[in-house]
Amino acid sequence: MAVDYIVIVVYLAGMLAMGWWGMRRSRSKSEFLVAGRRLGPAMYSGTMSAIVVGGASTIGGVGLGYQYGLSGAWMVVSIGLGMLALSLFFSARLARLKVYTVSEMLDLRYGGRAGVISGVVMWAYTLMVAVTATIAYATIFDVLLDMNRTVAIVLGGSIVVAYSTLGGMWSITLTDMVQFVVKTVGMLLLLMPIAVVKAGGFGELKAQLPTSYFDPLGIGGEAIFTYVLVYTFGMLIGQDIWQRVFTARSDRTAKWGGTIAGTYCLAYAVAGAIVGTAAKVLYPNLANADDAFATVVKEQLPVGVRGLVLAAALAAVMSTSSGALISCATVANNDIWSRLRGAVRGSDEPQDEVRANRVFILIMGVVAICTALALNDVVEALTVAYNLLVGGLLVPILGGLLWKRGTVQGAFAAVAVGSLTVLGLMAAFGILANEPVYYGLLASLAAYVIASLATEPTDATVLATWRERLAGRDPEAAPEPVEAPR
């Protein structure tokens, strides 16, 4: 185990070192929050691949493979489909807007303060995603290293908070590139083939398991539909994903770099399901399916390789955690606190925006760690996050992009009605029920259409400005100046 510990320590130390390096590059708000909007195809596709393939995709994806076989890939496949749809149909337009948050996009499109309530919903979503990723540290460290749950959460969370606070998006981008390589080697090139060989090969898998394990629809049509509704559409509108789109240096980079990331996600989905299927043959009586990943790594991999694959699991979790953390802090500072401060003081006073965003990352990181210590159920927390996101924000965001008759009153009604419906139905049917997101989305759509048609169309000047920004011609969206090195 000593070699495994060394691999993990070197990996974690490297994450902190990249945070320090990124700090020297983050001298403006644009550099800190969106890496100066200048990532090229290689870095963009790598960092986007890292964030979409997180801890849930790794540990959860293998767990679903253990339960259902190859059809267990559908959760992660749905994430990949969402990434492909976002990249091919929307990313170029989003990159041209030159905004920092989803709420800013809503304000720009509707010409009002629809972004205020949407900011609260988006903040709740990003916080819960950060919390679920932070909880996952406990699973990895506890099962493989026998580390106390509290220590594991504080250690893993503190490292992510440290490098994210130091360098912002530059640090996160650099660490994500390393994490992308580590995940690819650890999961696709090492764990998947080793697990299959240890289980006796694909022939033995088919001989030992029911035929349903090899049915691509074996998990059930309703489950597949829910995954697509929640995760595919969730990928289209999440602040954590949009903020990465804003880092692309060109429309082409956003479109094709994201397409590569989506394709990578599909491959990762299949690999996770195969590992889970092999684990079912090797360990048919695990009490918890989510332990399949850690059990295979601990019991079947040789020393050194085990440390690398563990680092891959940490990489997956850290990618999700850091992306959600900076998104949560960006929303909290730019969409909530700045608006409240401006309303109270009557104007926005000048401030050191890099310092302010660093403070908010630190605060949100502490909140995420404390919340993770208080919660145990990752699935329920993530379900709440995605139900609120899809039920409350999908309609006004896509409506703003696709329907010019949508108004600020319609957007406000959609967010409020959809979010309240989701919360009410989760209380009535249970957090894990499908009804909240189904009916919440329908209620949001109805509220949006009715309120938009019942109110005056959006002002022509607002729409003209919106079209100019979509075309990338608005002078106010010019890149921010960067301070000279001191």
What crossing angle do the helices spanning 305-330 and 292-300 adopt, rounded to 10°?
150
Q: How far apart are the two ends of the chain, measured CA to CA in Å? A: 45
pLDDT score of 481 more than 50: no
Q: Which of 18-32, 127-141, 264-278 has the lowest mean pLDDT?
A: 18-32
Lowest mean pLDDT among 11-20, 27-36, 252-261: 11-20
Please determine, for residue 124, whether its predicted confidence score (pLDDT) is greater than 50: yes
CB 382 within 8 A of CB 132: yes
Biggest CA pair distance of the chain: 72
Reported as a single tens digit per residue, the pLDDT across 424-459 is: 999 999 888 889 999 999 999 999 999 999 999 998
Lowest mean pLDDT, pick from 277-286, 367-376, 396-405 = 367-376
pLDDT at 95: 86
The whole-number average pLDDT for the span 190-202 is 93
* Apex 209 CA angle, 207 and 211, nearest 5: 95
The pLDDT of 368-391, averaged and rounded, is 81
Q: Is the pLDDT of residue 476 over 60?
A: no
Q: Please report, as a single letter, which amino acid is at residue 26.
A: S
pLDDT at 486 > cutoff 60: no
Is pLDDT at 484 greater than 50 in this prediction?
no
The Cα 117–Cα 144 span in angstroms is 42
**What mean pLDDT do residues 289-314 have?**
82
pLDDT band at 478 (very low <50, low <70, confident <90, very high): very low
Rounded to an integer, the average pLDDT of 58-71 is 91
Q: Read off the pLDDT band of 86 (50, 70, 90).
A: very high
Label residue 471 by pLDDT band (50, 70, 90): confident
pLDDT of residue 348: 52
**What integer pLDDT is reported at residue 143 of this predicted model?**
60
Q: Return the pLDDT at 479.
A: 46
The whole-number average pLDDT for the span 315-335 is 85
Q: Average pLDDT for residues 7-24, to the nearest whole number?
A: 75
Please state, in angstroms and as integers, the Cα–Cα distance from residue 420 to each residue in 118, 295, 389, 436, 441, following that order. Answer: 13, 40, 12, 10, 11
Q: How confident is the model at residue 1 (pLDDT cuts 50, 70, 90)?
A: low
Q: What is the mean pLDDT of the chain?
A: 85
Residue 349: pLDDT band by 50, 70, 90 thresholds? Answer: low
Q: pLDDT at position 352, please?
A: 67
Question: Over the chain, what HEC string results?
Answer: CHHHHHHHHHHHHHHHHHHHHHHCCCCCHHHHHHHHHCECHHHHHHHHHHHHCCHHHHHHHHHHHHHHHHHHHHHHHHHHHHHHHHHHHHHHHHHHHCCCCHHHHHHHHHCCCHHHHHHHHHHHHHHHHHHHHHHHHHHHHHHHHCCCHHHHHHHHHHHHHHHHHHHHHHHHHHHHHHHHHHHHHHHHHHHHHHHHHHCCHHHHHHHHCCHHHHCCCCCCHHHHHHHHHHHHHHHHHCHHHHHHHCCECCHHHHHHHHHHHHHHHHHHHHHHHHHHHHHHHHCCCCCCHHHHHHHHHHHHCCCCHHHHHHHHHHHHHHHHHHHHHHHHHHHHHHHHHHHHHHHHHCCCCCCCHHHHHHHHHHHHHHHHHHHHHHCCCHHHHHHHHHHHHHHHHHHHHHHHHHCCCCCHHHHHHHHHHHHHHHHHHHHHHCCCCCHHHHHHHHHHHHHHHHHHHHCCCCCHHHHHHHHHHHCCCCHHHCCCCCCCCC
Q: Which of 92, 25, 15, 33 is CA-nearest to residue 319?
A: 15
Torsion sign over Cα 366, 369, 373, 377:
positive
Whole-number Å distance between alpha carbons of 449 and 395: 10
Q: Which range has the worst mean pLDDT, 107-116, 191-200, 331-340, 451-460?
A: 107-116
pLDDT band at residue 351 using 50, 70 and 90 as cut-offs: low
Measured CA distances, 242 to 45, 235, 328, 331, 401 (Å): 14, 9, 12, 12, 14
- Per cent of the chain over pLDDT 90 is 36
Residues 304, 6: Cα–Cα separation, whole Å: 9
Given a contact cutoff of 8 angstroms between Cβ atoms, the answer to whether 340 and 182 are in contact is no
**pLDDT at 111 > cutoff 70:** yes
Q: In this structure, what is the dihedral angle of CA atoms 240, 36, 13, 41, given to the nearest 10 degrees?
A: 80
**Above 60 in pLDDT, residue 350?**
no
* Residue 405: Cβ-neighbour burial (10 angstroms; 0-12, 13-18, 19+): exposed
Tell me what pLDDT residue 342 has: 64
Domains in the chain (CATH in brackets) are: 1-339+356-376 (1.20.1730.10), 378-471 (no CATH)
- CB-facing half-sphere around the CA of 481: CA atoms within 13 A: 3
Give the Å distances, CA to CA, from 416 to 230, 286, 315, 391, 453. 18, 42, 36, 10, 17
Tokens of 143: 């099962």
Lowest mean pLDDT among 3-17, 145-159, 396-410: 3-17
**pTM of the entire structure?**
0.85
Give the percent of the chain with pLDDT over 70: 91
pLDDT of residue 485: 39
